[in-house]
Amino acid sequence: MAPRSYPGIGAGALLVFILSIGYYVTPALLGGADDQMLSYFIAQYTFSQAQGSILEPGCSTSDILAGLAEPSWPAPGLTPCATAAARSDPSAAAPCDACHTRRMTTAAPPVPTIALRQLSMHYTLGATRIEVLRDVDLEIATGQTVAVAGPSGSGKTSLLLLLAGLERPAAGTVHLDGQRLDTMDRDALADLRRDRIGIVFQSFHLLPSLTALDNVALPLQIAGQRDALARARDQLGRVGLSARLAHYPGQLSGGEQQRVAIARALVHRPRVLLADEPTGNLDDHTGALIRDLLFELHRASGTTMVLVTHDLDFAARCDRVLHLHEGRLHERRRDKAPGDAIPA
């Protein structure tokens, strides 16, 4: 059946009228479709109509309202009634039988937070060329936790430095949160790190002349944030250091210093957290506490996390475990017993 238009009245206006009536009967029939959902569909329909979609004379108000009540709606590219049909038959994700409304334009697939394409890096020592990374391809989705394992000297830290824009690749591209790092200048990279990247180092790298509070607030103060101290105080509370705000690094234990470093890395709410052996300088008990803290904070923030570690117990808690060997990344099988270490 070919789509039809109505002379003298726009199909959009007609739909608004129908939905305006349906809004008052929906709560009794379907348990409620609030005005935000109705407004959202009206806006979506207007866009769809501009693309050439017109409702059929046989379009049922109840079909549209049933779709609005679907828990899975709004679905990318589907009208409410098409969503309702797709619930019972996934192949029905197409123009619905009730009104023959065409599919709206489907949104583009999400861009991964981190994407490496044919990435290569090497160092030159005298006449010797040392290959660190060779044609590495990698995608990391938003919110994923990824562990990078490998022997000492395999290039794990170099990989993190490339992800942070602190090193330049010899070839290939680095994309982070939609930005191509390998083409950005130093100032742009500094701004990117300030706004979107948090880094936790094995050796803490706290400024000894600043208190815990001032160490955490410093990145925000550099960025001109007026609430820097308040946000730093709140973040230190999240890592359990509310009673150590005025202490200097030399007055804190190793575990406490790492907590300050983690608070500093997360205080600006970064999209990506990079952690280089964050428990490497800590005893087993303190290291376990720091591991728990990192994953607890990740769950709360949804930050994409990439960490380097030799500890398989730590790595196994991540969504993915990658092994770096002879310049290449391989997805690692988790077939060793918890507590085993990856050989250095």
**pLDDT digits over 93-103, tens only?**
444 444 444 43
pLDDT tens column, 195-240: 999 999 988 999 999 999 999 999 999 889 999 999 999 999 999 9
Structure tokens at 174: 């680095």
Q: Classify residue 328 by burial, with Cβ atoms within 10 Å: 0-12, 13-18, 19+.
A: middle
User: Which amino acid would we find at residue 41?
Assistant: F
Sheet holding 304-308, edge to edge: 197-200, 272-276, 304-308, 145-149, 320-325, 328-331
pLDDT at 21 over 90: no
Q: Could you give the count of Cα atoms lying within 13 Å of 324 in the half-sphere of its Cβ?
A: 30
110 falls in which pLDDT band (50, 70, 90)?
low
Q: Which helix (H) or strand (E) holds 86?
A: helix 80-88
Q: What is the DSSP string of 222-247?
A: HTT-TTHHHHHHHHHHHTT-GGGTT-
- Residue listed under structure tokens 């230190």: 236
Asked if residue 66 lies in contact with residue 30, where contact means CB atoms within 8 angstroms, the answer is yes
Q: Among 18-32, 166-180, 278-292, which is the least confidently predicted range?
A: 18-32
Cβ burial, residue 134 (10 Å; 0-12/13-18/19+)? middle
Q: Please say if the pLDDT value at position 111 is more than 60.
A: yes
Residue recorded with tokens 């060997």: 325
Q: For residues 307 and 310, give the distance between their C-alpha atoms in angstroms, rounded to a whole number.
A: 10
Phi then psi for 131, rounded to 5 degrees? -80, 120
Measured from the Cβ of residue 139, the count of other Cβ atoms closer than 10 Å reads 13
One-letter amino acid for residue 293 of the chain:
L
pLDDT at 128 over 80: yes
Flag the least confident range among 72-81, 227-236, 266-275, 323-332.
72-81
Closest listed residue to residue 147, CA positions, set 286, 290, 319: 319
Does the pLDDT of residue 89 top 70, yes or no? no
Question: What does the pLDDT average to over 78-98?
Answer: 48
The answer to whether the CB of 51 falls within 8 A of the CB of 105 is: yes
pLDDT at 130: 85
DSSP string for residues in 239-276: TT-GGGTT--GGGS-HHHHHHHHHHHHHTT--SEEEEE
Question: Rounded to two decimals, what is the model's pTM?
Answer: 0.66
- The side-by-side arrangement of strands in the sheet containing 179-180 is 128-140, 114-125, 171-176, 179-180
- Per the listing, tokens 């394992």 go with 149
